[in-house]
Amino acid sequence: MAEALRPAAQAQCSADPDAAGLLWAARAWVDGRWQEGVLLHAGADGNWARVEPGAACPPGAFVLDGPAVPGMVNAHSHAFQRAFAGLAERRSVDQDDFWSWRDHMYRVALRVTPQQQHAIAAQLYVEMLRGGYTHTCEFHYLHNAADGSAYADGDLTMALALAAAARETGMGLTLLPTVYERAGFSQPALREDQRRFRADAAAVLATRDALRRDADAAQRGGRGPALRVGLALHSLRAASPESIARLIDGSDAAPIHIHIAEQAREVDDCLEATGLRPIEWLCRNAPLDHRWQLVHATHSTPSEIAAIARSGAGVVLCPSTEANLGDGLTDLPGWLRHAVPLSLGSDSNATRSVLEELRLLEYGQRLARQVRCVAAAPQENQPATAARLWSRTLAGGAAAAGLERWGLQAGARADLLVVDTAAPAMLGIPASHTLDAMVFSSPNRPFRDVLVAGRWVTRNHRTPQAAGIAQRFTAAMHELWEPADKASEP
C-alpha cells in the first residue's frame, strides 16, 4: 500500500514528528508559474490545507528533494488495452488502420478475466504514477462476462477490479461506465465480438449508482483517494439518439465523456446517416456544457470548434493513440485560440507518460505545419510552449475528472510530483527552463517522488508494491498471449 507521509531522507528543517503533513519546496509550480519557497500543508483529509509561496522553511517541515509540480489527470484510459501495447505493430494485409486494429483489440477484450483486469490495471497505474499522472479517468465498457452474459452483480465485477487496482497503487480514479448498444449508425445490434460491451442507458445509470455506494463505503474505510463516478457514451455510432437522451435525463453534475470524430470514416458514416458531422450533430442535439468531454475530436471544422467553445465543453486529446492508430492530427491552434478546455489521455495505453503525450502533441503540429513552438503564444505573454500546454491541460484535466480544485492550491487534493534534477535531461538546465527540458528533452526519468492525497506512492523512483504487481501482470500476459502465440496471433 502507499506509504504514509514521512520526512525527506536527505534534508529537513527539523525532526518534529508532529508536523508530518508539512512540506517545503525551494521551487514549485503554483498558479501557472514557478514560485520560490513554497510551504505546503497536507491535511488529514488528503487535501492541501495551505499552499504559501514565498515562505521560509519552518521548523518541522519536510524539504522536498527537487522542484514540485502538480500531478496531471489522465482524462481518457482503457486499462485493459495495456495488455495489447506493442502487440499490434505488424501488418499482413494491404492496409492497416483503426478499424483493423480494433478487430485485433476485440480479441483481447474477449479474453480478459476480472482477475486479469485487476492485474493489468495495477501495472498500468504504477506506470502512470511514475509517468506524471496522479488521477485517471477510466472509460469503462468491458461490462459483461466473456460469453456476453451479465455478471451476478451486473457491471460491477469488472468495474470494481479497476477500483481495487487504483486503491492498491494509490491512483486517483474517475470511473465512467459507458453506453454501448449497437455496432454502427445502420446496425441496430452489436457484433458478436462486441458482446462484452453491451449496456444501455438504464444499465449504465444503475452501475453509476452502485459504484457510488461502493465508493462511499470504501471512503469510510479510509482506503485511499475517493473514487469518483461519471458517465460515458461510447460514440454516436454506438448509442442511439434515444439512449443519449435517456442518459442525459439521468445525469447530474458529474462528467459525461464521449468518443467523437476520431476517424474520417466515422465522420463520413455520420454524414450519411444523419446529414450532419459528428460534432455538429452533438452540438445540435445535446445540451453541451462544462460537464461534457469530447474525446479526440480530431476531425473538426472551425465552426465546430467555435460551437464547442461557446458550450463550455472540454476536449480530450490522446496524441500517442491518435498517432499509433493513424487517426490524424487535431487542430491544436484552433482549440487554443478559442480557449476550449483541453486535457490529455493515454487511451490505448501504448504510452503511459504525460511528458510523451505533450511532446507528441506539439511535435505532430510542427511536422504538419513546418514551424516550431506551435503552442506558444508570445502575443499573450506565453512564449514557453511547455508551460502553456502544461497549464492548459492541467486545468482541463480537473474538469474531465470531475474535480472542483486541482493543482497546488488550498482545497485541492494533496498531489504533487518532485522533479528529479539529477535525471540526464535535467543536468545543467537553468531553473527557469525546467518544464521545457522535462517535456522536450529525452531520455528522462523525470519524477523522483510522487504524492497522492497526502501519501507518498513513489519515493526516490521506488514504488514498494511494484515488484509484486509486475509479477501478477506478467502472469496475466502469459495467460492471455500464450494461446495466441501458438495460433500466430496477433
C-alpha cell at 60: 518541522
Cβ pair 31, 394 in contact under 8 A: no
User: Is the four-CA dihedral 111, 117, 119, 122 of positive or negative sign?
Assistant: positive
Query: How far is 70 from 72, CA to CA, in rounded Å?
Result: 6
Cβ pair 330, 296 in contact under 8 A: yes
215: helix, strand or coil:
helix
Query: How far is 18 from 394, CA to CA, in rounded Å?
Result: 32
Which residue has cell 457484433? 191
Q: Is 299 a catalytic residue?
A: no
For residue 483, give the H/E element and its range. Answer: helix 466-486
Cβ pair 309, 292 in contact under 8 A: no
Q: Is 296 a catalytic residue?
A: yes
362: helix, strand or coil:
helix
C-alpha cell at 96: 492497416
Longest dimension (CA), the chain: 69
Query: How far is 333 from 377, CA to CA, in rounded Å?
Result: 10
DSSP 54: T
192: helix, strand or coil:
helix
Q: Give the E-state strand segments of 60-100 in sequence order.
A: 62-63, 68-69, 72-77
Listing DSSP states for 427-443 in one string gives TT--GGGHHHHHHHS-S
Cβ pair 192, 146 in contact under 8 A: no
Q: Which of 65, 296, 299, 415 is catalytic?
A: 296
C-alpha cell at 43: 491535511
Cβ pair 1, 20 in contact under 8 A: no
Q: Which of 327, 347, 415, 420 is catalytic?
A: 347
Instruction: Provide the terminal-to-terminal Cα distance of the chain, rounded to the nearest Å.
Output: 35
Query: How far is 368 from 404, CA to CA, in rounded Å?
Result: 36
C-alpha cell at 480: 492471455
Residues designated catalytic? 296, 347
